[in-house]
Amino acid sequence: MPATPRAASVLDEIIAGVREDLAAREQALPLDALRDLVADTAPALDPMPVLRGPGVQVIAEVKRASPSKGHLADIPDPTVLAARYAEGGAAAISVLTEQRRFKGSLEDLRAVRAAVPTPLLRKDFLVTSYQLWEARAAGADLVLLIVAGLDPHELAELHAEAVSLGLTPLVEVHDEDEVGVALDAGARLVGVNARDLRTLEVHRDAFARVAPRIPDGVVRVAESGVRDAADVADLADQGADVVLVGEALVRTGDPAVAVRDFLAAGAGAPARPPL
C-alpha cells in the first residue's frame, strides 16, 4: 500500500508561494544583473559585536501582517518606524520582505536601508542563493535561514554563500534536534522561534527548552511571543542574548520608548563570550 502523502503545513504553503514570486523576479532580473548591483553596493555591516554586548539586545521588526494574526499595523512609510527603532537603540532592524502572508517587500528593505545606518535583517523564507544576492543588493546585512524550510545540505550551502557575501545568517530553529543541524552548518547566531511555523502555535517554553543546547560563544536569539518588558526579563534569565520583536512594537504607541523599555528589562544579562 502506498504511503499516505503528508499534509502540507503552513510553512510548506508559504514556501510554495515564495518560490512562485521568486521565479517572477528571477525572470525580470537575471542573476548576472543582480550581481552587478551588489558590486555597486556598500559592504555589509557586521552586527555581531553589538549582539554579543552586555544585556539583551533588540532586533526590532517592520511587520505589517502575519499568517497567524492577519493585519497587525498600518505602516505607510517603513522608514518612519525604522527611524524610531534606531532612536530607541535597536541593535538591528528586521524588515519583512515576504509579500503574500506578511505584506512586505524588497522595496521596504531598500527604503529602510536608505533611511537608517542600523544593521538590517532581511526577514523572509530563503530557499535559493538568488535571494541572498537580492538581500545584499537591497542593503541587507543579515538574512534569515530557517532550518525547518531547508534540508541540511541546502542550509549549509546557503549559510556558506551568505557568509561569502558578507551577510550574517540568523539560523532559526524550533526544537533541540534542529540546533544540531544549525551548528553543523556553521551558525554563530541562532534564533529559537517559539512559533511552530508548521502549525502557527506558540510554545512559550520553547526558548527555555532549546537554548541550553546552544553552546557558549553562539549568540542566542529569542523569537516570537515577546509581549512586553517582563517577557524580556524572563528570557534574559533563560540565557537570551537578543530578542526579535515585531507585533509588540508595531502595535505600541511609541516604538522608541518600547525598545528602550525592552533594553532596560534585559540590561542585567552578561556579555557573551567570543567564539
What are the residue numbers of the active site? 61, 63, 123, 172, 193, 223-224
SS3 content of the chain, % helix, strand, coil (to 5): 45, 15, 40
Between CA 126 and CA 189 the distance in angstroms is: 16
Our measurement of the distance from residue 1's CA atom to the centroid of its chain's CA atoms, rounded to an integer in Å, reads 42
d(CA 222, CA 220) in angstroms, rounded, equals 7
Q: Where are the beta strands (DSSP E) in the chain?
A: 57-62, 65-66, 70-71, 92-96, 120-123, 142-146, 168-173, 189-193, 219-223, 242-245
Distance CA(125)–CA(148), nearest Å, equals 10
CB neighbour list of residue 200: distance below 8 Å, 6 or more residues apart: 10, 67, 68
Name the grid cell of 167.
Answer: 551577510
Please state the φ and ψ torsions of residue 90, each to the nearest 5 degrees: -60, 135
Given the DSSP bridges, would you call strands 70-71 and 92-96 parallel, antiparallel or unpaired? unpaired
Q: List the Cα angle 183/189/194 in 5-degree steps.
A: 90
Q: Contact, 229 vs 264, CB < 8 A? A: yes
β-pairing verdict for 70-71 and 65-66: antiparallel
Half-sphere exposure of 266 (CA within 13 A, CB side): 32
Sign for the pseudo-dihedral over CA of 195, 268, 169, 160: negative
